[in-house]
Amino acid sequence: MNERLHFADSGEAADLAAFLGRLVHYDRAAAVRLQAGGGALAVFGRPPSFEVLAIRTVRLASPVEAPLDLTVSAGELLESVDETSAAATVPRPVTGPPWTGVLPPRGGWRQLPGLPGPQEMGAAVAGAVAEFRARDEALPEQHRTRSERDHIGREIWSRTLGDTELPLRAVHAAQSLGFLRPVRATVPAATPRTETAPDPVALLAAGSWLRLRTPYGSVAMRSPGLGGGLGALQVRPVRTSG
- Whole-angstrom Cα distance, residue 132 to residue 80? 38
- Whole-angstrom Cα distance, residue 147 to residue 136? 12
pLDDT in tens, 121-164: 999 999 999 999 999 999 998 888 999 999 999 999 999 998 99
For residue 104, what pLDDT is reported?
93
Q: Tell me, rounded to whole angstroms, the distance of Cα 205 from its chain centroid.
A: 15
**If we measure between CA atoms, which residue out of 229, 204, 234, 233 comes closest to residue 219?**
204
Indicate the fold that domain 1-111+182-242 takes in CATH. DNA Polymerase III; Chain A, domain 2 (3.10.150)
Pairing of strands 40-45, 53-59: antiparallel
Report pTM: 0.83
Other CB atoms within 10 A of residue 117 CB? 10
For residue 230, what pLDDT is reported?
33
- Whole-angstrom Cα distance, residue 192 to residue 239? 11
pLDDT in tens, 173-219: 999 999 988 655 444 444 444 334 444 899 999 999 999 999 999 99
For residue 1, what pLDDT is reported?
52
- Whole-angstrom Cα distance, residue 172 to residue 36? 28
Confidence of residue 2 (pLDDT cuts 50, 70, 90): confident
For residue 183, what pLDDT is reported?
58
pLDDT in tens, 42-89: 999 999 989 899 999 999 999 888 889 999 999 999 999 999 999 999
- Sorted by sequence, the CB contacts under 8 Å of residue 93 that are 6+ apart come out as 70, 71, 72
Report the alpha-carbon angle 207-223-37, nearest 5.
55
For residue 182, what pLDDT is reported?
67
- Whole-angstrom Cα distance, residue 104 to residue 102? 7
Confidence of residue 106 (pLDDT cuts 50, 70, 90): confident
CB 14 within 8 A of CB 83: yes
For residue 242, what pLDDT is reported?
36
Q: Tell me, rounded to whole angstroms, the distance of Cα 65 from its chain centroid.
A: 26
**If we measure between CA atoms, which residue out of 37, 38, 45, 1 comes closest to residue 19?**
45
Q: Domain ranges in the chain?
A: 1-111+182-242
- Sorted by sequence, the CB contacts under 8 Å of residue 140 that are 6+ apart come out as none
Which helix H or strand E contains 130, and what residues bound it? helix 118-137
For residue 65, what pLDDT is reported?
83
